[in-house]
Structure 1
Amino acid sequence: MAGSGRVTLNDVAAASGVSRATVSFVLNDDPNQTISPTTRERVRQAARELGYVPHGIARALREGSSRIVVLDIDWGLEGNYSRSYIRGLDDELAAHDHVLLVRHGHSAPHSTQQVLDTITPRAVLRFAESYLSGHEPDAEDWKNGFAGHAALQIRYLAERGHTDIAMALPDSDSPLAEVRMRFVRETADALGLPAIAPFVVPRPRVAGTKAVEAFRVAHESVTAVAAFDDDVALRTLTALHDLGLTVPDDIAVIGFDDTEYGALITPALTTVHIDAEAHGRQAARTALGLDTAGITRSPGRVLVRDSA
């Protein structure tokens, strides 16, 4: 039967020996219907054996939206944070019979509206929005959230005797940069360190080297650099190499978010590893209007390698 065309509710009803309405109640988990566990299992078994797939358009009309959740990503796709976040988001949505659609790149308002009009998604999420919202961090955020992750770099360097620390930033307009610098400065202040000076490491290689050289001339006392992410850290390492400086002997460098490239260079990049699967699961449950209790965030950790 499954090979002759699309399997319908009528097919499942015939195979399980119940009415079409009963099949609909079971497969949609209708809480207002009293159906025995035995019948429910018989219907579900028939649906599995026949390969029944719900008709998305019909269900969208019935429920007022499709079971698609859209994730817009316009930054940070390569790091471990994004990989683990998307994994958690996708797994949690699948557990509740929803599908994740990822859109990468800047999304213009009219483009987003086209998505809304075409597929009627259950929700449209901005990548790691809960992570971005740490403008007024609480104790949990300083422990396992953005504030705490930002603090890890500075604490690590301070524990190794560095007091004059700089912050290397990207040349793009990242939504995280301003908030990140705030958390870094608060951490330095709490540790009794001098103010952390920011500087930009641009692309291409020659421009990055010139920027690092100019910063070194103006800040000779700096002995360590905390980079905005691994990409900026790698640009900084390349610039220091081109300037004839040795890492970590002349200056230490620590990255952020653990991309695979950091382990492949010499010296291997010390960096902050963030497991954001719990952030993704929390975002999924929030989008579906479900209770987020019981989701435990994993603390970030420093991967100690050779650069710091």
Structure 2
Amino acid sequence: MGRSGRVTLSDVAESAGVSRATVSFVLNDDPRQTISPATRQRVMEAARELGYVPHGIARALREGSSRIVVLHVDRGMEGNFSRSYVRGLDEELAEHDHVLLVRYGRAVPETTQKILDAIVPRAVLRLGEVYMQDHGPIQADWEDSGFAANAALQIGYLAERGHTRVAMAVPDHEFPLTEARLGFAQEAARRLDLAPLRRFVVPRPRDAGAAAVEEFLAAHPEVTAVAAFDDDIALRTLTALRDLGRSVPEDMAVMGFDETEYGSLSTPALSTVHIDAEVLGRLAARAALGIDRSGLAPVPGRIVVRASA
């Protein structure tokens, strides 16, 4: 056994009574080498009995990349979309003998390069990247199950309930998807002949959120509904309205997005949009591996009707 305690190619070669090169040819299934069935079987049995595990870096050098796919998840993507997407991506990669490494935080070139240098990943993905690059609201496929269609669900639900003056509550921190989400929502409002959405920020902490909502409503008394960037922003808005003595939905309807469990626990319970992105994760995995993506269809989002809107 090697000095590190890990079973090496040399250990397998000694056990099988063959050269180290022969073991390498067999375990790598090198098509350029002709190995007799008996020798191949002897090597495989020795490797199995010894518990030989290929060295990841060495395999990466041979294959040109490791069997690792890296996913960057930016701050602020903690809803069901990201959880279901990661689940689908992870399971699909595992089915094809690959491993998912998830990194939370801002994706910057320097960090990405360090990852590339350290583990030579098969691919580096970024959650929601397609909506941040050349995927504007006009060109988006409004019939698919992406952010465009789901944004239309949120705005459409409020329009169906008679709201023609809608505000969009957004995060108080820099977030890559904010502009894309706002663009999709504005386009949905335009298609429904609604007034352009009024945008405002609901910050932390609680008193700052209440002050921001009070100031906004004083400046825009015509607004009757708030479409929030996500459930977190919607819950901040609900709390602010309650602190201001406003009734929901009587004085102001509030609609969340990308359902979290906390929305059902609020008073009133939060109406929202549920998004299941597991199939999108599986499609991303197949795209990264160069595998046929036919037979997989994204699941449409759906409205979760509760008391807030």
Contact 1:227 1:253 in 2 (8 A): yes
Query: Measured at CA, do residues 10 and 258 of structure 1 come closer, stay the same or move farther in structure 2, by a change above 3 Å?
Result: same
Amino acid at match of 2:277: A
Query: Measured at CA, do residues 97 and 238 of structure 1 come closer, stay the same or move farther in structure 2, by a change above 3 Å?
Result: same
Task: Tell me the percent identity.
Answer: 68
Question: CA RMSD for the aligned pairs?
Answer: 3.2
Q: Which of 122-131 and 193-202 deviates more?
A: 122-131
Aligned-pair CA distance for 1:303: 1.1
- Give, in whole Å, the separation in 1 of the partners of 2:109 and 2:140: 35
Partner of 1:251: 252
Amino acid at match of 1:89: L
TM-score by length of 2: 0.85
Q: Which of 167-176 and 22-31 deviates more?
A: 22-31
2:256 pairs with 1:235: no
Partner of 2:100: 100
Contact 1:151 1:184 in 2 (8 A): yes
- Give, in whole Å, the separation in 2 of the partners of 1:207 and 1:187: 30
Contact 1:169 1:198 in 2 (8 A): yes
Partner of 1:86: 86
Corresponding pairs, count: 306
Amino acid at match of 1:118: A
1:110 alignment partner, SS class: helix
1:250 alignment partner, SS class: coil
Task: Spell out, residue by residue over 1:1-28, the C-alpha distance to the aligned partner (whole angstroms, 9 max, x if none).
Answer: 9xx9534567778999999878766765
Contact 2:138 2:187 in 1 (8 A): no
2:103 pairs with 1:66: no
1:30-41 map, 5 Å: none
Partner of 1:6: 6
- Give, in whole Å, the separation in 2 of the partners of 1:47 and 1:84: 37
2:144 alignment partner, SS class: helix
Partner of 1:289: 290
Query: Measured at CA, do residues 12 and 220 of structure 1 come closer, stay the same or move farther in structure 2, by a change above 3 Å?
Result: same
Aligned-pair CA distance for 1:29: 6.2
Aligned-pair CA distance for 1:130: 2.7
Which residues of structure 1 form unaligned runs of 5+? none
Task: Spell out, residue by residue over 1:268-294, the C-alpha distance to the aligned partner (whole angstroms, 9 max, x if none).
Answer: 111111111122122222222223222
- Give, in whole Å, the separation in 2 of the partners of 1:26 and 1:298: 43
Amino acid at match of 2:100: L
Aligned-pair CA distance for 1:232: 0.7
Contact 1:128 1:279 in 2 (8 A): no
Aligned-pair CA distance for 1:34: 9.3
Partner of 1:200: 201
Contact 1:200 1:211 in 2 (8 A): yes
Contact 2:141 2:148 in 1 (8 A): no
Query: Measured at CA, do residues 17 and 180 of structure 1 come closer, stay the same or move farther in structure 2, by a change above 3 Å?
Result: same
